[in-house]
Structure formats: C-alpha cells, structure tokens
Amino acid sequence: MFTQFRNIDTAFSHIKRFSLFLIIACAAVSGLAIWKSFQAVREITGKVYILANGKALEAFSAERKDNVAVEIRDHVKMFHHWFFTLDPDEKVIASNIGKALYLADGSAKAAYDNLREQGYFANLISANISQTITVDSVLLDMHEEPFSFKCYATQVLVRSTSTVSRQLVTQGYLRNVSRSDNNPHGFLIQRWETVLNQDIAKP
C-alpha cells in the first residue's frame, strides 16, 4: 500500500515537472513568435515601393534624426531657389517670393520689402531681366539649436544684351516647426541676412 502511495507521489512529481517545462516552453515559443512578428512588421513598414517610368523602386523609411542635415540643406536650397529665381513677370515674382516666405521668418519678408522699395523687382520687369541661382554649398553647425547655416551660391542675371554672374553668401538659423504642404521639411529660417553679393570678376 505504501509503495502505491510512493508511486502516485513520484508520478505526480513527474507530471508537475513536465507541466512546468511545458509552460516554460510554450511561453518561450510565444515570446519568440511575437518578437518575430514585430520584426516582420517593422521590415514591411520600412519599405515603400515607388512606381517610376514603369519600374518599381524600393525606398526605405528612416528616423528624422538620421536625415536632419540633409533636410536642412534642402530647405535652405529651396528657400534660396524660390527667393532668387525670378522672371520679368509680376505673377512669377509674387508666386516665387510667396513660396519662399513660407520657409522663413520676418527677416526674409524685411529683405523682400527693402528690395521692393528700392525698385529691384520693378527694374527686373522693365529691363526684362531673368534671374536664376545655383546653390554651391550649405555649411551647417548642428551642435545646438537653432542650427546655424551659411549658404554659398551663384546668381546669374540674364539681360537681352549681357549675362552677369554674382557671388552670393547668406547666413541664418533654423528652428523646427510643424510640417505642412507649404513647408514640407518642417524648418523655419530665422535672422536671415546677406553677407556678400558682388559681381564675379571675369578673367
């Protein structure tokens, strides 16, 4: 009789150990499955396919902090493009300047007002001058916010009789703002000023 009790006790102990092992194994498998599922979701959501000219191109998403310098440079380039790309047409000038002013604070508006008061835009229209700009480089200081920048560019003024190239250097600061259709990078240029704007001497 005692032997039977001991056998039951041993069997119960085996069943208890087996059950504990089974629970641990199930928990481990479930944890692994959940982790793999999250990993698969991250990989899927991190890939975007763009259709261009009939070809599917793969694009990868990234955290904004990984691309801040790239976005800032493009923001500065786009601001200068819209502010300085002008044709002898009032509507073109108003449209381009309007797009530029969404990317900067009152310092850009003040510069625009000064140019307008000096008759700069009226002179472009009356003399049929087209103005374009090429941003050569944008130097950034990313150590503290607001981030400071210095932009080096070349302006080209095309007249009916001649073409003039000018060296342009501007500087300012950038702070984070909300992204929008008018400001897709989510930065705002502050304290913008022109450091240098002079004709490039022909050799």
C-alpha to C-alpha distances, 77 to 44, 53, 67, 73, 98, nearest whole angstrom: 33, 27, 15, 6, 15
pLDDT per position as a tens digit, 83-134: 999 999 999 999 999 999 999 999 999 999 999 999 999 999 999 999 999 9
Q: CATH number for the domain including 161?
A: 3.10.450.230
How many other CB atoms sit within 10 Å of the CB of residue 84?
A: 21
Q: Are residues 18 and 70 in the same domain?
A: no
Q: Are residues 29 and 94 in the same domain?
A: no
Last residue of a domain, one of 31, 59, 87: 59
Last residue of a domain, one of 41, 59, 77: 59
pLDDT per position as a tens digit, 6-18: 566 676 677 777 7
C-alpha to C-alpha distances, 99 to 93, 112, 136, 156, 181, nearest whole angstrom: 10, 13, 21, 20, 11
Nearest partner of 100 among 139, 92, 178, judged by Cα: 92
**To the nearest 10°, the Cα dihedral for 74, 75, 81, 83?**
-170
Structural domain that includes position 27: 2-50+53-59
> What is the dihedral sign for C-alpha 69, 72, 78, 84?
negative
What's the structural domain count of the chain? Answer: 2
Number of Cα atoms under 13 Å in the Cβ half of residue 17: 6
> What is the dihedral sign for C-alpha 181, 186, 188, 189?
negative
Q: Provide the residue type at 172 as one letter.
A: G
The rounded distance, in Å, linking the Cα atoms of 93 and 85 is: 8
Residue 61 has pLDDT above 70, yes or no: no
Reported confidence tier of residue 37, pLDDT bands at 50, 70, 90: confident
Average the pLDDT over each of 20-24, 82-86, 89-93, 188-192 and give the range with the smallest value: 20-24
pLDDT score recorded for residue 22: 82
pLDDT score recorded for residue 56: 57
Last residue of a domain, one of 12, 30, 59: 59
Q: Are residues 119 and 164 in the same domain?
A: yes
pTM: 0.69
Q: Are residues 9 and 77 in the same domain?
A: no
Reported confidence tier of residue 30, pLDDT bands at 50, 70, 90: confident
Average the pLDDT over each of 3-12, 38-47, 145-154 and give the range with the smallest value: 3-12
Residue 59 has pLDDT above 70, yes or no: no
Q: Are residues 108 and 80 in the same domain?
A: yes
